[in-house]
Amino acid sequence: MSHSDAEAHTLRPSWRPRPTIRNPWLRWSLLIGCGFYIIYAIGDVHLNPERFISGIPRVAEMLGVMLPPDFSRWDLLFSGILESIQMAIISTALGIVLGIPVAVGASRNLVPGPVYALFRGYIGMVRTLPEVLIAIFFVKAIGFGAFAGMLTLTTASTAFVGKLLAEEIEAIDPGQVEAIRATGAGWSKVLIYGIQPQVLPRYIGLSIYRWDINFRESVILGIVGAGGIGATLYNAFGRYEYDFGLAILLVMIVVVLIAEWGSGEIRSRIQ
Amino acid sequence: MLRIEDLTKTYPGGRTALNQCALSVEQSQVVAVIGPSGAGKSTFLRCINRLVEPTQGRIFLNGTEINALGAKKMCRIRRRMGMIFQEYNLVERLTVMENVLSGRLGFVSIFQAIFRRFPGADVELALEMLARVGLSGYENSRADALSGGQRQRVGISRALMQRPQILLVDEPTSSLDPKTARTIMSLIAELARENGIPALINTHDVGLATEFAQRIVGLSEGDIVFDDFPKNINASSLTRIFGEADWKQMGDSGHHTTGRALDEPLTEDTGKTVSLEPIKA
């Protein structure tokens, strides 16, 4: 560094934000590496502009056939939607009740280590699998229909409530629990008197949120044969009845929106 | 009544909180346990009802060896040991009445606890307790709607609902303003005397301790370094308990300063009845 350079530096001090990755070698090699990987990946998924362009008229054609939506078989549509809603309600009711023991078992501050590991293992396993995969399993095990869908959603709900409620239980104020313990209350009384009041609002919120999720999921599960409106939709597309398909989609969207709005409304009121 | 022998507590990690402490309380007296933060006061109290498991030592309450009991029997003994906490530790989302009645949890069935169907006698006692501590009419208020002093009164009621054989009181006034602190301390001392039970009160407020206790136990780094009448506390004993400081500022016996509002008349009569001010929500 020459003398004049140093002088310029002292005259005009410059400041730059510190880069997230401080080592320049690491920073640049990561960036270049990512660039190469993306180029490689594009080749791997057969990204083909010609195919994309040739598909556009087909999409337009399909949309043309879809319109106007065909509501003539409304009874089929209605019974499908009803089955989905009932699946959602029953599995939510079962799931949020069975989720309580799961949550208790998965709370580090309530149960001994092995029990905790067991319940966390269950939650981890169920939550790793998407609902559709669980549904495929139940359909294979007990056959097509809403029953398989209901079991799927119930199972998923127990893991959902179990995990999120357990997190709430682990974050409670230990002082309140200590005080109830000091009165000579045993484990179960501490649970209902010292812990339940602290986590109840969260539990109610979770339950409503899960009902909302279950409804959306119940719509999809039919695609793998687990009952509900999804099955009707799948069949409609299979028979190229796009206009009926669009009718089903529209009704699904409306019902999901209503469910989401309703659950948001209720949850905002209990917080 | 209460006899503690050789009580030692070493926490996992090796920190020794209590070092072979011995204490015997043979009459229904108020014993103030004073000492700096970290001296082991809280551990000492919690070893007595075994919210903290002692490492070593024997504890007898009315002839029962507490440290030898199994979990079930410990619960049965604990229902007769009232505890009062620094942060009140009320169940915040429950009503005042539910909190007071929780003192009876050890005596009712799980179904009575779930549906809050406490026996009539318990409800009656709870209402009497609330009247006694000056909280009549607050039965249905939620605990988190009360002020600090009010919450501590609920905490006191909860402990006394247990019809305790001993009161374990952990820093009851540390979260309160000086005036409320005095009222609360005097209320606890008074209730202990009325019920003829001993009370162990942890505090670092020497003024309140000397005023309301009949006996002072000084803890320093896990050792009992002082055990005498309040009048015998002086600068050298305070130094032994808390460490070097200019104790002259506190007055001869540490009586007349902390915890007392300046405009209040001084009185040696610690047994006077404290009138509880009307309480505003």
How many whole angstroms separate alpha carbon A96 and alpha carbon A123? 14
Please report residues of A whose CB lies closer than 8 A to that of B114: 192
The letter for the amino acid at B181 is A
pLDDT class for B85, splitting at 50, 70, 90? very high
> Which of B49, B72, B114 faces A182 most closely, judged by CB atoms?
B49
> What is the tens place of the pLDDT at every residue in A236-262?
888 888 888 888 888 888 888 888 888
The letter for the amino acid at A265 is E
Domains of chain B and any CATH numbers: 2-250 (3.40.50.300)
| pLDDT higher than 60, residue B272 | no
**Do the interacting molecules here have an ipTM over 0.85?**
no
Cβ–Cβ of B85/A175 closer than 8 Å? Answer: yes
Q: What element of type H or E holds A118?
A: helix A113-128
What pLDDT, on the 0 to 100 scale, is given for residue A171?
Answer: 92
Residues 6+ apart with CB under 8 A from B97: B123, B126, B130, B139, B140
Residues 6+ apart with CB under 8 A from A108: A116, A170
How many whole angstroms separate alpha carbon A14 and alpha carbon A7? 13
- Report domain extents, chain A: 77-270
What pLDDT, on the 0 to 100 scale, is given for residue B274?
Answer: 43
Topology annotation, domain A77-270: MetI-like fold (1.10.3720)
> Which of B80, B93, B104 faces A197 most closely, judged by CB atoms?
B93
Give CA angle at B172 (B182, B248), nearest 5°. Answer: 60
Q: How close A202 gets to chain B, by Cα (Å)?
A: 13
| pLDDT higher than 80, residue A5 | no
Average pLDDT over residues B3-12: 91
How many whole angstroms separate alpha carbon B168 and alpha carbon B200? 5
Q: A191: which DSSP letter? A: I
| pLDDT higher than 60, residue A4 | no
Rounded to 10 deg, the angle between the B148-161 and B178-195 helix axes is 10
A34 token code pair: 């990512």
Cβ–Cβ of B51/A178 closer than 8 Å? Answer: yes
- Spell A105-128 as b/e; 16+ CB within 10 A means b: bbbeebbeeeebeebbebbeebee
- Among A173, A176, A190, A270, which would you mutate to test the B interface (most chain B Cβ atoms within 10 Å of its Cβ)? A176
| pLDDT higher than 60, residue B271 | no
> What is the tens place of the pLDDT at every residue in B97-143?
999 999 999 999 999 999 999 999 999 999 999 999 999 999 999 99
Q: How close B76 gets to chain A, by Cα (Å)?
A: 6
What pLDDT, on the 0 to 100 scale, is given for residue B275?
Answer: 44
Partner A contacted by B94 (CB < 8 A):
yes
> Which of B92, B93, B105 faces A185 most closely, judged by CB atoms?
B105
Helix extents (H) in chain B: 41-48, 71-78, 96-101, 110-114, 120-132, 148-161, 178-195, 206-212, 235-242
Give yes or no for a contact between B254 and B210, defined as CB atoms under 8 angstroms apart. Answer: yes
Which residue's entry shows tokens 């190229």?
A240
Greatest Cα pair distance, chain B, in angstroms, is: 58
What pLDDT, on the 0 to 100 scale, is given for residue B256?
Answer: 42
